[in-house]
Structure 1
Amino acid sequence: MAVKRLMTYLYWLYYQFKLITCSELMVPCEQLVFYTVIVPMLAGIVYAIYIFITMQINLAFQELILYHSG
């Protein structure tokens, strides 16, 4: 039952995304071009945020270790 609710929720999120981006009204070839641009751009943003946050946490721990050792 939980899997069905999860799938329904994911479908709802996908449909909301299609409505917000107006891709529901696009022809399939337009959707292909749109998603070819949007998906790599979003992946790049998520990757950059992941790298940035990792670096900031690493620097914070280094400062904490330096503060406690000296």
Structure 2
Amino acid sequence: MPPPPFHPACKMNFKNLLEYLAWLYYQYLLITGIYVLEPWEKSIFNSVLFSAIAMVIYTSYVFVPIHVRLALEFFSGIFGGQPESTMALMN
């Protein structure tokens, strides 16, 4: 049974998690070089960056399955797969 939420071990884990997330954010600031920007510049940079990431994820979600299906149909035809119309006649 897990310890109750007010258990000291849970508080310590939450503190460690917050410290780890703060460290990751600090690494993000250092790697991207935006630690030298003013707060309004940081917010614009982050908005543009996360919008671009969201668009890439959405586009991948929408279009990659279509392209994979078309590629499978193409290679199936090349490597001896039977067309769907022939398969339907056999049934």
Same fold (TM over 0.5): yes
How far the C-alpha of 1:23 sits from its partner, in A, is: 0.8
| 1:10 paired to 2:26 | no
TM-score by length of 2: 0.50
Identical aligned residues as a percent: 35
TM-score by length of 1: 0.62
Q: CA RMSD in A?
A: 2.7
How far the C-alpha of 1:42 sits from its partner, in A, is: 1.6
How far the C-alpha of 1:48 sits from its partner, in A, is: 4.0
Q: Which has the higher helix share?
A: 1
Q: Work out which of the two has the higher radius of gyration on C-alpha atoms and give 1 or 2.
A: 2
Segments of structure 2 that go 5 or more residues without pairing to the other structure are 1-11, 70-91
Segments of structure 1 that go 5 or more residues without pairing to the other structure are 60-70
How far apart in 2 are the matches of 1:45 and 1:4?
Answer: 33
